[in-house]
Amino acid sequence: MSSPTMSELRHRDGQITEKKDDEPPSSGCVPENVGLPVINEPPIPAQKDNIPTILKGLPQRWQNWVIRGFFSLLLILGYVLIIWMGPVALTCLVLLIETMCFHEIISIGYAVYRSKDLPWFRSLSWYFLLCANYFVYGQSLKDYFGIVLHRDFEMLQFLIDYYRIISFMLYIFGFIFFVLSLVKNHYLVQFTLFGWTHIGLLIVVSQSNLLTQTIFEGLIWFIISTLSVICNDIMAYMFGFFFGRTSLIKLSPKKTWEGFIGALFSTLVFAFFLAAILAPHPYLTCPATFNAESHSFVMKCTPSSTFVLKEYHLPTILKDAFAILGFKLSTVTLYPAQLHAVVIAAFASLVGPFGGFFASGFKRAFKIKDFGDVIPGHGGIMDRFDCQFIMASFLYVYIFTFLKTANPQKLIQQLFQLPVDDQMTVYNSLQEHLMKSGALTP
């Protein structure tokens, strides 16, 4: 009997039988599964029968429509309440969502790649999440809460001043512990899970930090961005439900071109008028500034030009179009914020859904229906916020490219944190500059 070839290797008790030294090499390429551990892919969990009795007489698609609509309304009401509570409450919400999304991602990794005697995976994953959050949010704490920490919590000031080196050393400690925890016959699985954890951190921690920074630049942009995604999702569902006929993408068979196009126009109109409603309110348009006396954030400022009505001349093609309809319009008066809102809504409609398609491909790769079952009719937290994460990156880039304005109050807070000698140096330099420019007389 001839010696077994590489392709005839068999898995035994979760281990791969090793090739003998005298085994002849096989012809062709080495099979992809050589050296890989057994991957236990969990089946799609059965759906719980949590349909209310009053809905059981309806067809299944209408049952899902009612349940999904009811909980969507609850989520929107909760969202409005947290907006009213201010930027700190919103930041806490973002951190909570980040944590729950990370938990769902890590749970999938653990379920798919579970292996006997695999040590410390969950504990190290949460430890790395803590280190990553400390690193990315350290600067925000220093910028927005530095005065309070310096004045009332002086013993903790070093945690903010040296957050970079502290978080780095904490991470290195976790890295060393991971290396020491490596177990023979489980190396590939452990390194796979190590990479899985860091991909999860890249997806949720970095995006949530970017989202938090946009919150403190003015609530209006956060509201327009998130509500544009929500509007697009709802309208795509509605147009697809009633008019959908043509499949859009194989990853999500229920997505249709009719829903995609209908949601695009609906979201553009929604964002345009939403910006007009929000623009006059300083609470929503002003950057958040911490008031050390009241220990709270205030949003008061002189409105920037983005939130002041401006007259625009219509292009000829639009003038002609309005003339055909019987309207003689040559100019319109708008808030510049409305035009920015349309750009944000366009991205939410054209690119945002690909975050959902990416998540659909991810779930199909691991044969799961949803990331979780936290929200009836919607699935897990990650199922609801898959599009929001890609929007967070775009919103951050867009704001800090086109909309970022100087914040004197934030600069003053940073100056207050300097030693007195450094404050005097800044004072003398500023005084000299103002005298030379003629803005200040001797």
Query: Digits of tens for pLDDT over the chain (442 positions)?
Result: 444 444 443 433 334 344 444 444 444 444 444 444 444 444 444 444 455 555 565 666 666 667 767 777 887 888 889 888 888 888 888 899 899 889 888 887 777 666 555 668 888 999 999 999 999 888 777 776 665 565 666 667 788 788 899 999 999 999 999 999 888 888 888 888 898 899 889 888 988 888 888 998 889 999 999 999 989 988 998 899 888 888 888 877 778 899 999 999 999 999 999 999 999 999 999 888 777 677 778 888 888 899 999 999 888 888 888 888 888 888 899 999 999 999 999 999 999 888 888 877 777 777 776 666 665 555 667 777 778 888 999 999 999 899 876 666 667 766 776 778 888 888 888 888 888 888 877 7
Cα separation, 95 vs 85, whole angstroms: 16
Q: Which residues contact 144 (CB under 8 A, 6 or more apart)?
A: 216, 288, 290, 297, 413
Tell me the domain boundaries of the chain: 63-118+183-404, 406-442
User: Distances from the Cα of 144 to the Cαs of 38, 89, 296, 308, 405, in angstroms?
Assistant: 49, 14, 10, 27, 17
Q: Whose CA is closest to 43, among 367, 360, 361, 363?
A: 367
- Which single residue is written with the structure tokens 């860091």? 198
Cα separation, 330 vs 320, whole angstroms: 10
- Is 108 exposed, middle or buried (CB count within 10 Å of its CB: 0-12, 13-18, 19+)? buried
* C-alpha R_g of the chain: 28
Q: Whose CA is closest to 107, among 368, 324, 299, 286?
A: 368
In order, the DSSP letters of 344-388 are: HHHHHHHTHHHHHHHHHHHHHHTT-S-S--SBTTTBSHHHHHHHH
Phi, psi of 179 (to 5 degrees): -60, -40
